[in-house]
Structure 1
């Protein structure tokens, strides 16, 4: 029976390590790389307000698609074909909802994608996903 393994990815080294781990440990399973575009009010406002919101979203989507393409290429180097998904929302919540809505059996996640004050203020996505997950979670450092 093939298991569904979810690997949330961002631009961090830890996310890259998590993907590498999943590709080497679960090459015969169905792996999905998920990139969550975190939209918050402060990221879309600023001096211009919402004037350039569409352009801003297009840039975020393009950057997310680029990360997913990099994940597909890395998987191909391992001889593995993966699925990719791009979502919007708060990362921990969106990842947890994806697990529940998509028959995921296991999550492999990097230990953290943020550092410094933002990590302290926002909390750890990996920690929140681990607490909320109804399936096993492997945290890769």
Structure 2
């Protein structure tokens, strides 16, 4: 039985499915929903190069607001299921940030969606689930 379950969360249907699964399958566990802000994503999405560093703070503020909105959605989803959850966001590489969070926050299980983002990054997020599964020091459940 898990005491602390981590659910990485983005704006995908699969991450919502992972949260629903965690809420149902781990009724007594503390559930933390984590959103990772990856700076590489917003630079790639906007086509910015090194000159964009002047806009970093504005872009980071926008991404942080987006993250808080996603985490609000996760809290609402949990409330609909009659549960309270913890939420957090970090900045960094998605896979590495998830593993670091597991190691630093006494997490004993990860529930992750099989794929998240759409477009070109969709394939890469599938590799995020794979990377987390391979490198996690705790059990990982992949929700499809």
TM-score greater than 0.5 by the shorter chain: yes
Partners in 1 of 2:71 and 2:22 — Cα distance? 15
Distance in 2, matches of 1:57 and 1:18, equals: 26
Is the deviation greater in 16-25 or in 34-43? 34-43
Give the structure 1 partner of residue 4 of structure 2: 4
User: Which is worse superposed, 34-43 or 6-15?
Assistant: 34-43
Pick one of 84, 87, 93 that aligns with 1:84.
87
TM-score (norm 1): 0.90
**Two-structure CA RMSD over aligned residues (Å):** 2.1
List gaps (5 residues or longer) in structure 1: none
Q: What SS does structure 2 have at the residue aligned with 1:85?
A: strand
For the pair 1:101 / 2:104, whether they are aligned, the reply is: yes
Does residue 29 of the first structure (1) align with residue 29 of the second (2)?
yes
Residue 61 in 1 paired to residue 64 in 2? yes
Greater percentage in helix: 2
Conserved? CA contact 2:35–2:67, under 8 Å = yes
